[in-house]
Amino acid sequence: VIVATNAFGMGINQPKVRFVIHNSPSRSPEAYYQESGRAGRDGKPAICLLFYRPTDASKLTSWAVSSGINEQITKAWEMVNYCERSDMCRKIWMENYFNSENLINQTDSTKVCGNCDVCLFATPSEDNHVDITGDAISIVNIAGSLKKHNETMTFLQLIEAWSGYGHNKIHWIKPLIRDGLVTICGDDKKSREFKGRIINHLLLESFLQEKYHATLYSVIARISLGKNGQALYGLKVADSESALKEPPIYISKQVSENFLLSEVSATSLAKQDLFVNLDSE
């Protein structure tokens, strides 16, 4: 077992690596593709596991901004997209991503791998989406009111406000609730993780946007209204179906919610008849 940074890990030239585990997302799909490619270079099945939570998104994008490379910001958001998508085979996602770069050797982006978490654990597509239009209206109305009140919010602060916390300090949110522009979503209704996924989805679809504030030691991402959020801003949650001109906003369910690392390992390895005796290695 080797615990290392990505720079050291990329120098490993051991063909029979059976596991590559990321404790946080890579900074781009290209980096993740190369790093996960350290596993199974002998042609035998291997497992790549990526630990991710929605709060990682703002960390990735803030780092990208601090790098000073505009292209890196786009790639950071693509990595967030990869982590958040749970309705598309991981292999197909990667093929679509790299095929968009007009490479000479194009690959087939229609055949699923049958081995990734989406292929193994996702529910049928018609049951794998949740309508979040009402949630989106609440979030957009909070974010859209920030500028008017000379306020800013980070990712976590927005979740807190939407969850019903800290309203003594942000007193202007109470009239929004009273007028039906915001519906508070307590932790008993949705988990913090799922709320984070909703906000990331709205960021990816430009209903919200991040603006960055540089300090002496770091870059802080703050959330504001995005270009597509104008269509939702000012709507009442109860009138969302009749007021929206566009179809409802959906988010795919997280396929990883109900299984553990041990289940992934046991299921995948049993499926491939690949039991490795680490002691004998």
How many angstroms separate the CA atoms of 268 and 237, rounded? 43
Query: Does 260 or 219 have the greater pLDDT score?
Result: 219
Note the pLDDT of residue 130.
83
3-state SS, residue 19:
strand
137 and 219 belong to one structural domain:
yes
CB atoms within 10 A of CB 280: 5
Give the up-direction half-sphere exposure of residue 107: CA atoms within 13 A in the CB hemisphere.
Answer: 15
Is the pLDDT at 22 greater than 80? The verdict is: yes
Residues 136 and 246 in one domain: yes
Residue 35 lies in a domain: yes
Give the confidence band of 125 by pLDDT, cuts at 50, 70, 90: low
Are 11 and 106 in the same domain?
Answer: yes
- On whether residue 185 sits in a domain, the answer given is yes
Question: Are 59 and 119 members of one domain?
Answer: yes
In a domain, 263, yes or no: yes
Q: Which residue, among 117, 165, 54, 107, has the nearest Cα to 264 in the 3D structure?
A: 117
CA-to-CA dists, residue 281 to 18, 73, 142, angstroms: 11, 41, 56
Asked if 101 and 210 sit in the same domain, the reply is no
Return the amino acid letter for 49.
L
Question: CA–CA distance from 55 to each of 69, 187, 252, 274, 281 (Å)?
Answer: 22, 16, 18, 34, 37
The pLDDT tens digits of the residues spanning 80-119 come to 999 998 888 999 999 999 886 555 555 566 788 899 988 8
Query: Chain-wide mean pLDDT for the chain?
Result: 83
**CATH code (residue 180):** 1.10.10.10
Q: What is the distance between the alpha carbons of residues 73 and 196, in angstroms, rounded to a whole number?
A: 19
Instruction: Tally DSSP H helices, then E strands, for the chain.
Output: 12, 6
- Residues 84, 31: one domain? yes
- pLDDT at residue 200, as a whole number: 96
Rounded CA separation 184/153 (Å): 17
Q: Model confidence over 191-217: pLDDT tens digits?
A: 999 999 999 999 999 999 999 998 888
| Secondary structure E strands in the chain | 19-22, 47-50, 129-131, 208-214, 219-225, 250-252
Domain shared by 264 and 180, yes or no: no
Query: Can you give the CATH number for the domain in which 106 is found?
Result: 3.40.50.300
- Does the residue 57 lie in any domain? yes
146 lies in the same domain as 219: yes
Residue 281 maps to a domain: no
Number of domains in the chain: 2
Asked if residue 146 belongs to a domain, the reply is yes
30-47 per-residue burial string, b: 16 or more CB within 10 A, e: under 16:
eebeebbebbbeeeeebb
Say if residue 216 is in the same domain as residue 239: yes
Domain of residue 137: give its range: 129-252
| Domain match, 28 and 134 both | no
Classify 184 as helix, strand or coil: coil
> What predicted TM-score, i.e. pTM, was given to this entire model?
0.83
Within-domain flag for 248: yes
Span 38-60, mean pLDDT?
A: 93
Are 58 and 155 within 8 A, CB to CB? yes
Q: Is 280 within the bounds of a domain?
A: no
Identify whether residues 208 and 245 lie together within a single domain.
Answer: yes
> How far is residue 78 from each of residues 65, 73, 267, measured CA to CA in Å?
14, 9, 29
Instruction: Please tell me whether residues 14 and 82 are part of one structural domain.
Output: yes
